[in-house]
Amino acid sequence: MTVPLPDSKRKLAAAVPSPLPPLLYEETVRRALVEDLGRAGDLTTDAVIPVEAAGYARVVARADGRVAGLPVAAAAFWLLEPSLQVELRSVDGMDAGAGETLASVRGPLRAILTAERVALNFLGHLSGVATTTRGIVRAVEGAGVDGVRIVCTRKTTPGLRALEKHAVRCGGGANHRFGLDDAILIKDNHRAVAGGVRPAVERARAYAGHLVKVELEVDSLEELEEGLAAGVDAVLLDNMSPADLRQAVEMCRGRAVTEASGGITPETAPEVAATGVDLISVGWITHSAPSLDVALDVG
């Protein structure tokens, strides 16, 4: 079971993203535990730790970062042993300092040590995604640019998309498509097979329901004008220079949502944001984010 967040954290917690329903991650955590336990269970812990041993452990941040995946980590403990008492000391979407206790676990030590690695893998990875996202969001905010959102892509770890996209929200970013069924995004290969921008957009428009948005990836202002004439809802401006982005924003004003993409870093994001685009999409905040260093300390 999970103990409610302490009163001292509740006001801060109200400002962070809504927690994921356990239904969205319990099976993922269960599969990770099964993978780790294998055919014979935790040989080391079962050999060394007496079955009756009980104790206390803390989940600690070893570096500064933005927390994400704390309830997922907690699930690793109580799915393995429901009698474990897990107390969350922080909440997803909040910053943590090096040395800060994020959660505590009390109960059978065999279960605590067996679930340790699975819990820390989820927490470290998702907090790393949140921390990385926080970095590029702050880079744009620090430059005084308002109104642009940092969004992730479908470049996620197979099986972890819902969790990684939650981590992006915890870092202050927003989500692009969750999957292929969210919206229509016509990319260069779609255009090539369809015979160009106009036939691709026309086919998409004829196919889509009235609630389905159509976005078009373009590499040039000429392709952009063709797409706007065909009536797209959004445009993905791929690898354009700041000068071209500014012109594209003017062309799209009142006609389509603008999304800049392609090799954007925390160093270049402020200049891209200053062009007036609505969105900046970056795949590396999920596929290349380094894990946040977290650990379990017993006693």
- Of 54, 55, 138, 124, the C-alpha closest to 96 is 124
How many CA atoms within 13 Å lie on the side-chain side of 286?
29
CA 57 to CA 105: how far, in whole Å?
5
The answer to whether 187 is a known catalytic residue is yes
* Catalytic-labelled residue, pool 116, 217, 223, 259: 217
The answer to whether 238 is a known catalytic residue is yes
* Catalytic-labelled residue, pool 117, 154, 177, 213: 117
Cβ-based burial of 14 (10 A; exposed 0-12, middle 13-18, buried ≥19): exposed
* Catalytic-labelled residue, pool 187, 188, 222, 250: 187
Q: Cα 188 to chain center, whole Å?
A: 26
The answer to whether 100 is a known catalytic residue is no
> Cα separations (Å) of 250 from 151, 237, 277?
21, 13, 10
* Catalytic-labelled residue, pool 155, 161, 177, 213: 155
CA 211 to CA 269: how far, in whole Å?
31
The answer to whether 213 is a known catalytic residue is no
Sequence letter at residue 283: G
The answer to whether 165 is a known catalytic residue is no
Q: Which residues are catalytic?
A: 117, 155, 187, 217, 238
